[in-house]
Structure 1
């Protein structure tokens, strides 16, 4: 049944009426300005292209960048490069499918795509997946801040300040969440975080540049300074030669580490709704630019981190710099800047989590500042409690996150496109969606098995 032009809130089962997929997208593209009416109020000019790119880059990059040098050490330079490139291309393609479905169905949220595809259960499953993924990510970031920030601050102090409140991780975490995270998360639109995203992006670039510069400050074979005496860690000059391809028992962690390094799909549609002059092509360009910048920073950080420590690189590359350059001012500054970058990512992830919650419980009600405030407060309390009281939050949310990340990045876009698109199954988009679905299921199950295996063996 053909729906009238301008209808935004439509029932599941309505599609653009053109018979050919190309005609449908061309016809639906004219609806792009209408699709943003829900968030673009009259007089609003939207968020600029550059700010949208920075917001998306901030949503993509997180603490996972610390482990990419370790991944390269166990896959080789070319092996890692190939994996990272494939994941970046798949992430861009899955976003392309999401935007295509939004144009064809005239909705602007991930949750409503689930509603179109599988009715109310689909919407609830998508919303629940987003909430679990985002709460896990935010809690993990706060957990890192709780454990690492006191050590970073103490490096700038001389003397014994043990027992001071500003070196207590829990106290610092509560203060930061009250003063920084909660007020930023309360902002009504994701575009308002453009300034913090710019700052976070600068910190990540500084992190990558510092790794490049410090490559020439640490000789190979590695020597460790202990009580003013230098101990050589390795005598073999072969240990200082990069490997193009390398496989070991640790290589199994490479797939989950790279497969979910470009997860940004929960933030794509909120950013798209606030984009200036919104269109599918413009938002795809935003996505491609953000993924390209992220790929560049990821690759530079991993490459020079690996070329500094080679097979001796730790799963957290900052620990290596603290070990081999314990009194270096640049390393201290980098650690503090990185923690600030992680902190500024938390409010950005609040937006899709809060939106998913409100779409399930308050979807039929008009916007209310009371609901907005209480939902933001509840999410903030949950992630702070998780970061404080869960003893090893990375393992707990690693198990959940391995499945939710795979669903949001690969499984849902592929599955929904196969369900909603009227293209022939042999069309390149549907075949690509099917491949994306299969890869998502395999990657999710594989990473889940790896995390459970690692968890049980470490007990």
Structure 2
């Protein structure tokens, strides 16, 4: 609904102009460097709004922002997903989801080109979607006693960044966020070689006071990695992987602020971002799984000793990364609410600040109240992820791309239709298995 509201506004504008697309709209098979309107005054156009401006965000900063939108708390659950699918099966599924995410962004960008128009894609500049980084489980002991800290961080760090008017300004904080996650990845790889395989250790020995560098949980007694595995917990694993690649609400806002924006240039931003996150995800999941095997939890950081100084630094880095991601995903939410509730109102700083405050309050309530990160991964990965990755982009493509350009039974539209059907099946199967697990009492963590 968040993306569709912005697209719907543009369709209404075209209907008011006699049902014809504007003269400078870009077709699905045509693009040019002047995608956004120029500064030349045109009498028929609306006057420039306070929030309208030419995109000036560099390619690199756009990659940082989109990568930051992709990456989030989902990375903490990937080792758990691998433990219930096997190494080879997991990597194959992860690659498929990455490729499908890239294709769905292609559909969104094609639709954006069709409805570009005079004000065009600007309506999507601050878009929607903010479900991805609601969990602060990685805070460990701070989380148990630190609800105050959550509120303080939200007010001092997140709120000022969320109040920025342009998304491009967050490229630097996105770069810092990615650096923190890179530190997390390097630490996971290092701890794998430091810990090794503790065959024969029991949980009492592992959690003893004189062993601060070993994890608090027991190991798989055989320390064997499975290449292919299918079990009842797989209903969580595929949604976790889908959850980890959701960035689609941020695509159009980043597109509008991109310097020299074209469909091909934005697709390159998406491909670089998705590719980088695929390798980061694959390495994190592989080394996390090869450290703990079938004992790994849904949140990887819970497996390490809480007295380990390096792990404490990693927890802080992940906290910084997730914190700096929230302002990026708040931009699309706020713009969607403005388009939905105040479509004809001029920009107002009071409304801008009020929406940000309300959203932060809701995020804090969810962070404090949601019991486990796995429930977030499972439920959102089974509902929002297939909707944003599969279903909505295919619907937009089928509805927006005109039939005289792409007939209904043309191969691109058949592909889009199959893509949407795949998303519906994915959602139904994932939710079905998840509800079955809950009903039959198999909702426990394997290996504990």
TM-score by length of 1: 0.80
CA distance in 1, matches of 2:262, 2:354: 33
**5+ long unaligned stretches in structure 2:** 1-9, 40-47
Query: Cα offset for 1:420?
Result: 2.2
Aligned residue number for residue 369 of structure 1: 349
Which residue, 243, 264, 278 being the options, matches 1:295?
A: 278
Q: Against the structure 1 CA distance between its residues 207 and 38, is the aligned structure 2 distance closer, same or farther, given a 3 Å change threshold? A: farther
Aligned residue number for residue 257 of structure 1: 240
Is it true that 1:212 corresponds to 2:189 in the alignment?
A: yes
CA distance in 2, matches of 1:414, 1:55: 24
Aligned residue number for residue 162 of structure 1: none
Q: Against the structure 1 CA distance between its residues 434 and 66, is the aligned structure 2 distance closer, same or farther, given a 3 Å change threshold? A: same
CA distance in 1, matches of 2:372, 2:198: 34
Aligned residue number for residue 103 of structure 2: 93
Aligned residue number for residue 132 of structure 2: 137
- Indicate the SS of the match to 2:233: helix
CA distance in 2, matches of 1:47, 1:91: 23
Stretches of 4+ moved more than 6 A in 1? 35-40, 109-112, 229-232
Aligned residue number for residue 158 of structure 2: 181
Aligned residue number for residue 36 of structure 2: 33
Aligned residue number for residue 175 of structure 2: 198
Aligned residue number for residue 75 of structure 1: 85
Asked whether the equivalents of residues 399 and 452 of structure 1 are also in contact (C-alpha less than 8 Å), the reply is: no
Aligned residue number for residue 340 of structure 2: 360
Aligned residue number for residue 303 of structure 2: 320
Which residue, 57, 60, 63 being the options, matches 2:67?
A: 57
CA distance in 1, matches of 2:104, 2:286: 27
Query: Cα offset for 1:242?
Result: 2.3
Q: Against the structure 1 CA distance between its residues 396 and 455, is the aligned structure 2 distance closer, same or farther, given a 3 Å change threshold? A: farther
Q: Against the structure 1 CA distance between its residues 345 and 450, is the aligned structure 2 distance closer, same or farther, given a 3 Å change threshold? A: farther
Q: Against the structure 1 CA distance between its residues 392 and 84, is the aligned structure 2 distance closer, same or farther, given a 3 Å change threshold? A: closer
- Indicate the SS of the match to 2:121: coil
Q: Against the structure 1 CA distance between its residues 57 and 317, is the aligned structure 2 distance closer, same or farther, given a 3 Å change threshold? A: same
Asked whether the equivalents of residues 87 and 226 of structure 2 are also in contact (C-alpha less than 8 Å), the reply is: yes
Asked whether the equivalents of residues 111 and 397 of structure 2 are also in contact (C-alpha less than 8 Å), the reply is: yes
Q: Against the structure 1 CA distance between its residues 25 and 416, is the aligned structure 2 distance closer, same or farther, given a 3 Å change threshold? A: closer
Asked whether the equivalents of residues 395 and 455 of structure 1 are also in contact (C-alpha less than 8 Å), the reply is: no
Aligned residue number for residue 58 of structure 2: 48
CA distance in 1, matches of 2:232, 2:223: 21
- Indicate the SS of the match to 2:245: coil
Query: Cα offset for 1:416?
Result: 1.5
Query: Cα offset for 1:385?
Result: 2.8
Aligned residue number for residue 121 of structure 1: none
Q: Against the structure 1 CA distance between its residues 74 and 388, is the aligned structure 2 distance closer, same or farther, given a 3 Å change threshold? A: closer
Query: Cα offset for 1:246?
Result: 1.6
Q: Against the structure 1 CA distance between its residues 386 and 311, is the aligned structure 2 distance closer, same or farther, given a 3 Å change threshold? A: closer
Is it true that 1:405 corresponds to 2:385 in the alignment?
A: yes
**5+ long unaligned stretches in structure 1:** 1-6, 113-126, 152-166
Deviations, residues 214-239 of structure 1 (Å, cap 9, x unaligned): 11111214432525489995685xx3
Asked whether the equivalents of residues 386 and 393 of structure 1 are also in contact (C-alpha less than 8 Å), the reply is: no
Which residue, 137, 144, 148 being the options, matches 2:140?
A: 148
Asked whether the equivalents of residues 39 and 273 of structure 1 are also in contact (C-alpha less than 8 Å), the reply is: no
Q: Against the structure 1 CA distance between its residues 359 and 93, is the aligned structure 2 distance closer, same or farther, given a 3 Å change threshold? A: same
Q: Map 1:305-316 to 2 at 5 A.
A: 305-316=288-299
Asked whether the equivalents of residues 191 and 271 of structure 1 are also in contact (C-alpha less than 8 Å), the reply is: yes
Asked whether the equivalents of residues 33 and 260 of structure 2 are also in contact (C-alpha less than 8 Å), the reply is: no
TM-score by length of 2: 0.81
Aligned residue number for residue 4 of structure 2: none
